[in-house]
Amino acid sequence: MSEYRIQGATGEWEVVIGLEVHAQVTSQAKLFSGAATAFGAEPNTQVSLVDAAMPGMLPVPNRECIRQAVRTGMAINANVNKWSRFDRKNYFYADLPQGYQISQLYHPLVGEGEIEINLDEKNPDAETKRIGVERIHVEQDAGKLMHDQHPTRSYVDLNRSGVALMEIVSKPDMRSPAEAGAYLSKLRTILRYVGSCDGNMDQGSMRADVNVSVRKPGHEFGTRTETKNVNSVRFVMAVVEYEASRQVDVLEAGGKIVQETRLYDPDKNETRSMRSKEDAHDYRYFPDPDLLPLELDDAFLEECRQSLPELPDVKRHRYEEQLGLSAYNAATLTADADTARWFEALLAEAARIQKKSEGEVAKASANWLLSELYGALNRLGKSLEDSPVGPEEGAELLALVADGTISGTIAKQVFEIMLETGDRAPKIVDEKGLKQTSDTGAIEAAVAKVLADNGDKVEQYKSGKEALFGFFVGQTMKAMQGKANPQVVNDLVRKALA
């Protein structure tokens, strides 16, 4: 993979990056209480007695949250620990009602795994790199402080208090902003495929703590800083870039990097010190005595494994090898779980209507989705999710082209009408009389007229300017108002010129 180097006054520097990603587990209820987890609810409306840490309240693990974290671990080929344990991380803050966060320090649910990244997903020849994942553990989220509600007071919203998070800790295996970005994107893709996290970084469902250090290539790791709660792929890359060059500047000026927690300011594109190691908390971790160790049986693990969907890398290879798609199209269609789902629905429907195998309809389906549909959605400013045309409607349109009912050109017109009116393709073709004709008599007449009207060009063609063939075809099509079967037109023009 590309060597990313920072040119300093004293020579080249290498950056070393590790990410701790917090991903909110998709679940109806919180990690240890029955309270709901919907985003954007009125403050303090999704708070149980447990979340508010009322006296005598006890946590009970939510099986679904554990299941999602286990499935995530399996999706990155990690060791799932059949025995794990919850620990308390003790500190005082107003958004932490218990005075401790229930987390997993000593015995996490998921051990080592890895994620394959590709710096250029569209380029099948681009080098790939495996980024190690140290662990995944589950823990509670904290509540939220609101400082803008009152001039002198802070308000506390406990809706998020107790929501289940997965903390996915990478190894310090990344060496450039692009690698960090690719890792985070890929991780998000996997989470969305698995369905364990919606990956909505703007809603805080996924956020990254970015650990950055620099060193002279080949030397020991340098001292790292940790920039907290970075909430987009672009910002993660910006943090790495900024931190790396800041650290090089400090070191080359004879200074030392302090192990500290920093915050990213997207407006100024810089990181600022939040607290140094000296005032770091002593979290007094110890096993939570309210909870028994988590022991997973084989049946549970098997169910988790069985319920995993086809994952992006496997799917991409299948699209290339079995469906015969180009590397670019395969990568684009699998980069996002929703797109792949949409494509597969289109594919299944197209194959069904046309009574063909998926392989036989794959290319046309992929091309239509990526050029026609995506073009239209871009124009309309819509996403696939709220596309006015669904996979079934798209498949109907493709079938009309495939069986020669309409030409590709007419199909574009029909699609525009579908987008405008919401009508389905067969109806539009019927009502507007767009069915293409294979009536050789009518086409022969049109060809004869075109040749008669262009006697000079016929001469030129016959004396060797064969490129004019397309002109005669085009003129014939035009005369037929686009409704002639192009293959028939081709044949008849060739015959007439022979």
Partner 1 sequence: MTDLTDLTVADIRDGFRAGDFSAREVAEAFNANVAGAKALNAFIVETPEKALEAADAADKAKAAGEPLKPLSGVPIGMKDLFCTEGVQTTAASHMLEGFTPTYESTVSKKLWDAGAGMLGKLNLDQFAMGSSNETSYFGNVISPWRRGDGDTAALAPGGSSGGSSSAIAARLCPAATGTDTGGSIRQPAAFTGISGIKPTYGRCSRWGIVAFASSLDQAGPMARTVRDNAILLETMAGFDPKDSTSLDLAVPQWEAGLSSNLKGKTVGIPKEYRPDGLNAEISAMWDRGIDWLKDAGAEVVEVSLPHTRYALPTYYIIAPAEASSNLARYDGVRYGQRDLPDGAGLQDMYAATRALGFGPEVKRRIMIGTYVLSAGFYDAYYTQAQKVRALIARDFEQAFEKCDLLLTPTAPSASFALGEKQADPLAMYLNDVFTVPASLAGLPAMAVPGGLDGQGLPLGLQIIGRALDEQTVLNAGLAIEERAGFTARPGKWW
| Chain positions contacting partner 1, by CB under 8 A | 49, 52-61, 88, 90, 92-94, 97-100, 154, 156, 282, 284-286, 288-292
Measured distance CA(108)–CA(66) in Å, rounded: 11
Pick from 216, 271, 315: nearest CA to 12:
216
Measured distance CA(436)–CA(486) in Å, rounded: 9
Beta carbon nearer to partner 1, 140 or 365: 140
Beta carbon nearer to partner 1, 270 or 290: 290
Three-state SS at 5: coil
Dihedral of CA 125/127/132/137: which sign? negative
What's the closest the beta carbon of residue 141 comes to partner 1, in angstroms?
17
What's the closest the beta carbon of residue 149 comes to partner 1, in angstroms?
16
Q: Say if residues 463 and 449 touch (Cβ distance below 8 Å).
A: no
What's the closest the beta carbon of residue 288 comes to partner 1, in angstroms?
8
Give the burial string for 103-120 (b: 16+ CB within 10 Å, else e).
bbbebbbbbebbbebbbe
Q: Say if residues 159 and 144 touch (Cβ distance below 8 Å).
A: yes
* DSSP at 82: S
Beta carbon nearer to partner 1, 54 or 314: 54
Token readout for 456 is 């000079």
What's the closest the beta carbon of residue 65 comes to partner 1, in angstroms?
14
Question: 57 φ, ψ to 5°?
Answer: -85, 150
Beta carbon nearer to partner 1, 120 or 290: 290
Beta carbon nearer to partner 1, 53 or 301: 53
Burial class for 290, CB neighbours closer than 10 Å (0-12, 13-18, 19+)? middle
What's the closest the beta carbon of residue 57 comes to partner 1, in angstroms?
7
Neighbours of 366 (CB within 10 A): 23
What's the closest the beta carbon of residue 143 comes to partner 1, in angstroms?
10
Beta carbon nearer to partner 1, 14 or 51: 51
Beta carbon nearer to partner 1, 57 or 497: 57
Beta carbon nearer to partner 1, 13 or 100: 100
Beta carbon nearer to partner 1, 147 or 256: 147
Token readout for 381 is 């400013």
What's the closest the beta carbon of residue 296 comes to partner 1, in angstroms?
15
Measured distance CA(285)–CA(102) in Å, rounded: 9
What's the closest the beta carbon of residue 94 comes to partner 1, in angstroms?
5
- State which amino acid sits at residue 378: N
What's the closest the beta carbon of residue 399 comes to partner 1, in angstroms?
54
Beta carbon nearer to partner 1, 49 or 417: 49
What's the closest the beta carbon of residue 15 comes to partner 1, in angstroms?
30
Scanning 117-176, the segments in alpha helix (DSSP H) are none
Token readout for 239 is 């943090």
Question: 16 φ, ψ to 5°?
Answer: -120, 130
Pick from 86, 104, 103, 100: nearest CA to 293:
86
Helix H or strand E segment including 426: helix 425-431
What's the closest the beta carbon of residue 104 comes to partner 1, in angstroms?
15
| Residue 151 falls in which region: left (phi positive, over 0), alpha (psi -120 to 50) or beta | alpha
Beta carbon nearer to partner 1, 54 or 448: 54
Burial class for 185, CB neighbours closer than 10 Å (0-12, 13-18, 19+)? middle
Pick from 183, 177, 266, 181: nearest CA to 214:
177
